[in-house]
Structure 1
Amino acid sequence: MREPVCDRQVREAQHRLDDLTHRVGLLAEQQPLVGETMQELSTALQELRVAADELQQQNEELAETRELVEEERRRYQELFDDAPDGYLVTDAEGTIQQANGVAASLLGVRRDFLVGKPFVVFVAREAQRAFGAYMARLHNGHPERVAEWQTTVQPRGGPSYPITLTTGRIRNRKGRLIGLRWMLRDSTERVRSEVARRQWEAQLQHTQRLESLGVLAGGIAHDFNNLLMGVLCSAELALLRLPQDAPARADVEQIVAATHRAAGLTGQMLAYSGRGTFQVQPILLSTLIREMEPLIRAALPKTCALEFDLGESLPAIEADATQLRQVLMNLVVNAGEAVGDAAGSIAVRVGVRECDRAYLAGGVLGNEIPEGPHVSLEVADTGCGMSGETQARMFEPFFTTKFTGRGLGLAAVLGIVRGHHGTILVTSEPGRGTRIEVLFPPTTQPAMAPQVPAPAPPAWRGEGTILVVDDEASIRAGASQVLEHAGFTVLTAADGHEAVAVFREHAETVRAVLLDLTMPNMDGATTARALRQIRPDVRVILSSGYTAEEATRQFTERDLAGFLQKPYALKALLAAVRGAMEPANR
């Protein structure tokens, strides 16, 4: 390191003083006054030496500090240049003074091109007004601290895209704003993730709302089936007692028919709730649709053209044929009503679709089924189409846009598809028709022909004692009268505790128990266990407003001798009792 000029001058002066001291010292012996003067000069010289040493030390410390500052500056520049995010430094008006490579890359220009350019020229046109307003807020002191916000940039030679800006102020010693620091981060993926999250939350809320409505619909259907049971029993008993030529017979038959129609509605509500009756077997969807073609054509207006594209060599699906027929008929009838009296067309297509998570996410139940190939049932029409508001509510029970509609058709479709572990995708625009696609998971099992319902059993009479347990007095009375009319002695109980007491007293004579599932205090499952403790071979016929699949979950196959879903007809009651007593007739 070169010796500072001031140090050299001090040392040269010191040498001259030393020489002078030596020469004058010779005179000091002869002239005392000169000696005293030289002593003072020597003291001053020592002080000068001390000052020179201190100055040397300060110079060395200053040099070290200068090196540290330079090292920190280099380190900052390296961090600035090599940072994974874009960094800009601008003056208070937003003119770029410094930029790193990432910032240049984000803005689509060379790094040296940025210096001297206003930052706002790289902001997309549609975002410049908001950018200017934000700059004004920065000058006005808002927000007070480092702020993060979104804008859209327009790089040179590329499409615009969203970025996240983090802005900090640079102030001088007097607190005046003299510049701004900007951190730029590509937020395309962040925005995409945020949109996906909001869509997922909306889908989740929609699914939860549908599930809540499903629970409500299932509960209503169960309670309504109990009420219908009393009406149906009374009406069918009245038919048994009325002569064939009685004037009131036609009215009673209308009551019976209306009760069965009401039971059909509750069946749709149970289907929506996912508690419908399912007799699952491997089925070829295309074969089932071909068998239904005459019925489908009869359900549509003559002005509506019907097209089928049922594919070939398709895999089977595990499904209930009756429920699939209901799905298809509801979709086709809705499509016909959308077309209306005007000329239009409906296309029914069956095929195989390879579904990834992105495709399934567009479905009503898309998050509940796995990716992979699915059998696709598509019903497309050229009708009036639907608005977004209608599509958002189309599967809700009791929601309808028809004057005479009940709002249960599509709700039942959703419940059936949910029960079959599938999903539904809807594409529609007002005036441009509707396309509804139902996806079912395929099976490798060979298809079976749909089962034909067994013929009704012939009239039958029995003997012995039957215990009827139900908390509804009208159901107890109706079932008792039917069984007594068929030759049985009937005991009744209004709840599980009473049933156990009555059965314990008559355990030797009771041949079968007709047991309701849902009762206060002691439900059917608990009651059945208590009865088996008294007599293990007791024959229990379970009845419920829910379906067999839902109602028998707490029982094994050996626990029950039969099941009746309310409301049941008198013939069904007698058939169940006969099946319990004569297993060969089940």
Structure 2
Amino acid sequence: MSTAPIVTLIGKLKRSRVMQLTLAFFLPAMTLIVLLSIYFSSREYDFHSIKIKSALEQLLANSQLSLLSQNEFIVSDLDFITTLPDLTAVLLNQSSPSQRQSITSTLSTLSEARPGYTKIRIIDVNGHEQISILHPLRSKASAQPDSMLQDLHLRTFFTQSIKLPRQDIYIASSGPAGQDSLSTAPFIRIAKPIRDASGRIIGVAVINSNGVQQAEALMKHESIAGCNAMLVTHDGNYLGLPRYDDGSRKLLQDADPSITATFPEEWSYIKTRTEGQLLSRKGLFIFRRLYLIPYHSPLRRDTISSEGDYWVMIQHVPPSVIKAMQSATLDYMLMAGAAGIIMFIGALFLAIRIDDSRRKRQELETVTGTIPAFIFMKDPQLRYSFANQYALNQLQCKKETIINKRSGDIFPADTAALFEKEDLEILQTGKSIINQNGEILLADGTTIAVLTNKVPLTNYNNEIEGIISVSMDWSMQKESEEKNRMLENKLRDRQKIEMLGTLAGGIAHDFNNLLTPIIGYSELVLESLPEKSELGESLNTVIKAAMRGKKLIRQMLMFGRNDTPSLRPCQLKPILDEAMDFLRPSIPSTVRMEILIADFSDAVMCDPMQIQQIILNLCTNAWQAMVNETGTVSVELSKTTAENAMAAINKPLLRDQVYARITVRDDGTGMSKTVSDCMFDPFYTTKEVGKGTGLGLSVVYGIVKAHKGEISVESTEGSGTAVTVFLPVAVNQTADEG
């Protein structure tokens, strides 16, 4: 059997990181298990009390519902009493004997119909009883004689009730020997103010209900097995007693012991809380206050209550019952130990796996961080799971902004849709994408060309678990290829020019020798012929063709030799004037010339003949571009700075340099951008065959560059063209007078 796996495992266990992760997982979990075991074993009472409490919740809820149901009748009867038609007259001492008798009879009948009512009182606004209906147990209800009526203006229930807002009630209870009671039996007192038609309080209606009957109704809800149910007033007097040893239960009729005598310590805790549970050496006590009218009930409204508007229902679980349900502490400790061993082993292997994954991720980040390419990984849901540092730098974002995000969260919508379409196809087919040209939009808004390869990531079962994408920045290579193509084109053009120069230099002399006699003899014959002779017209055609040939040879020689011009400081104004004088006879009379020459004395280092060649070529192109040779050609000469010039033409010029600006403008047909981009290329022309050589503007471009200047073109189809030449002004140079 090979020992390599064991050796590998031991090596991994020696890593400090593995043990740190193991302890980080194990210690908190084990601590929690130990604490839970201690808690379960030491607080067994609490866990069983929860079980008991859940069973008692329904019992307490039923008790509260029963108490509310009984007191709803009292509130309804009070509403009925306060609306009796003759009651206002009784309280204002304006009633007749028959009215008073009617009220008394109605209240007596109501008390007879409600066996639990012990007393019904009608009290005026000064606290004097006007009517009092007494209903002792097992006797009929009867009205108290006037001599027995009491002055109650100092009693709490009266002073509180007389201040109540409209539709509100006062509620209180008393246990045995209550100071507001004439007997030792417990009762519930509910009062409500009586108002006249204007809403003014003129008295109070009070109903005392027998607390014994309500307590009996509550105690009918049996407790769960083994528990003792107790009903206690707010001051600790028993209304319902716990079960005695013989199993009997006794309701309070006379003065019975208080809970303070049997469970003094427990009661001191219970009386300060609304509900809860208490575990003591005398057992488990689960308790809740039963409000005579609960706070959430619609009947309560803004009720003013005394401190005694509730009873306390207590369920007592004796210690013997709790001990019978307890489990052995040893069981918990054994379970904790077994769980600890399992958790330690699991934490150890989990730590090894996490550390291996971390080391692989670090190795991947280290390797890919040195590669100048966009490297991404995606999961099967096409969410990014990895991005190398180069990609993060180019996109100017942090790893957290990419991980678990989709392409639509990072790239423009159309780019993201393309990426996800390709990725989805890879996940479905498993086919890779190799050397695909594309583009990526960077954070600064620039778009770079990339060469992308995408392959599926598979697991040991050859199942696709994601995609890895590597996009190389191909922009520099594409720029290099474009530059190479441009250089090749320029080289070919240069070779053409050199060949043209060689050819022109070889044949120019012989060609001029051929043209000289043709022109000379044609002119002699023309002079001997009469005017308007047909032969004369033919000879003029011959002479024009020969002159055009000489001009072509001259341009070919100038363009082909590429000689460096002989520069000297000259003023441009005389040069332009002379060029215009030479140009005017050759321009049709339908073309108007405008000369706008600024008067400045600065000199320009130039070859005057070549500057004239620039003006002649540009003006000739300008008037030839006009429809029907009709329009305006303007020549402008002015001075400008390099900063202003660069802002206008977007071309580099020498800083802190003053330039002479020559602009030839026409209102002809104009040019498209495609034509204007090629207008200075050698042999490029848009004229008909025989009307242009394609060398005129190339000669202009060459002359401008030889003078260290720049040339720009502004043209719109149908709106004319403006060609501007910038020539540097000579510094500290005096213009040559010759």
Distance apart, 1:276 and its partner CA: 7.1
Q: Aligned letter for 1:210?
A: D
The question of whether the paired residues in 2 share the 8 Å contact of 1:213 and 1:396 is answered with no
Partner SS for 2:691: coil
Distance 1:110 1:234 in 2: 81
What's 2:459 paired with?
A: 172
**Alignment match, 2:558:** 271
Preserved contact between residue 336 and residue 346 of structure 1 (Cα < 8 Å): no
Contact 1:163 1:184 in 2 (8 A): no
Note if 1:380 corresponds to 2:380. no
Aligned equivalent of 1:288: 575
Cα distance in 2 for partners of 1:405, 1:91 equals 67
The answer on 1:134 being equivalent to 2:419 is no
2:355 equivalent to 1:405:
no
- Paired residue for 1:208, among 491, 506, 518? 491
| Change in CA separation of 1:117 and 1:414 when aligned onto 2, cut-off 3 Å | closer
1:318 to 606, 614, 618: 606
Aligned to 1:143: 432
Deviation track 1:217-273 (CA, whole Å, cap 9, x = no partner) reads 334433144133145258769999x9x979999899977786555323311222222
Summarize the alignment of residues 80-479 of structure 1 with structure 2, pairs less than 5 Å apart.
Answer: 83=369, 88-98=376-386, 111-139=399-427, 140-143=429-432, 150-153=438-441, 159=445, 161-162=447-448, 164=450, 167-182=454-469, 191=475, 193=476, 197=480, 200-201=483-484, 203-222=486-505, 223-232=507-516, 259=546, 261-274=548-561, 280-295=567-582, 299=587, 302=590, 304=592, 306=594, 308-310=596-598, 312=600, 314-319=602-607, 321-340=608-627, 341=629, 343-344=631-632, 346-352=634-640, 354=642, 373=657, 375-391=660-676, 392=678, 395-397=681-683, 399-402=685-688, 405-407=691-693, 408-417=695-704, 420=707, 422=709, 424-440=711-727, 443-444=730-731, 445-450=733-738
Tell me the alpha carbon deviations over residues 448-474 of structure 1, each in whole angstroms, 9 at most, x when there is no partner.
135xxxxxxxxxxxxxxxxxxxxxxxx
Match of 1:63 among 13, 16, 20: 13
Tell me the amino acid that sits aligned with residue 211 of structure 1: R
Identity level (%): 16
Distance 1:414 1:252 in 2: 36
Stretch of structure 1 that moved more, 221-230 or 136-145: 136-145
- Give the corresponding residue for 1:22: none
The structure having more radius of gyration, on CA atoms, is 2
Q: Which letter does structure 2 place at the counterpart of 1:339? A: M
CA distance in 1, matches of 2:9, 2:556: 93
**Per-residue Cα deviation, 1:88-132 (whole angstroms, up to 9, x for no partner):** 432134122355777667667664454433234423223244323
* Secondary structure of 1:317 counterpart: strand
Rounded to whole Å, the distance in 2 between the matches of 1:297 and 1:234 is 27
Deviations 1:332-352 (A, max 9, x none): 121122233555553534435
Structure 1 stretch displaced more, 82-91 or 209-218: 82-91
SS in 2 for 1:273: helix
Letter in 1 for 2:501: G
Query: Which whole-Å CA distance do the structure 1 matches of 2:514 and 2:633 have between them?
Result: 45
Counterparts of 1:237 and 1:342 in 2: how far apart (Å)? Answer: 36
Matched residues in 1 for 2:402 and 2:595: separation? 62
Structure 1 pair 224/442, CA: closer, same or farther in 2 (3 Å)?
Answer: same
Equivalence for 1:35? none
* SS, match of residue 266 in structure 1: helix
- Mapped contact 2:432–2:455 kept (Cα < 8 A): no
Distance 1:287 1:204, change over 3 A: farther
| Secondary structure of the corresponding residue to residue 14 of structure 2 | helix
- For 1:553-579, what per-residue CA distance to the aligned partner results, in whole angstroms no more than 9, with x for missing partners? xxxxxxxxxxxxxxxxxxxxxxxxxxx
Question: What is the Cα deviation at residue 281 of structure 1?
Answer: 2.9
Kept in 1, the 8 Å contact 2:571–2:604? The answer is yes
| Structure 2: unaligned runs, 5 residues or longer | 19-351
Name the counterpart of 2:217: none
Report if aligned partners of 1:221, 1:270 keep a CA contact under 8 Å in 2: yes
Greater relative contact order (CA < 8 Å, ≥ 6 in sequence):
1
Indicate conservation of the 8 Å contact 2:640/2:660, yes or no: yes
Asked whether the equivalents of residues 519 and 546 of structure 2 are also in contact (C-alpha less than 8 Å), the reply is: no
Aligned counterparts of 1:395 and 1:160: Cα–Cα separation in 2: 30
Cα distance in 1 for partners of 2:6, 2:515 equals 114
SS across alignment from 2:553:
helix
Relative to structure 1, the CA distance from residue 442 to residue 134 in structure 2 (aligned partners, 3 Å threshold; closer, same or farther) is farther
CA deviation string 1:104-162 (max 9, x = no partner) = 676676644544332344232232443234224533344377x675333587xx85744
Structure 1 distance, partners of 2:603, 2:537, is 49
Two-structure CA RMSD over aligned residues (Å): 5.2
Aligned CA distance change for structure 1 residues 182 and 216 (closer, same or farther; 3 Å): closer
Where do 5+ consecutive residues of structure 1 fail to align?
Answer: 1-53, 451-586
SS in 2 for 1:397: coil
Q: What CA distance in whole angstroms lies between the structure 1 residues aligned with 2:726 and 2:479?
A: 22
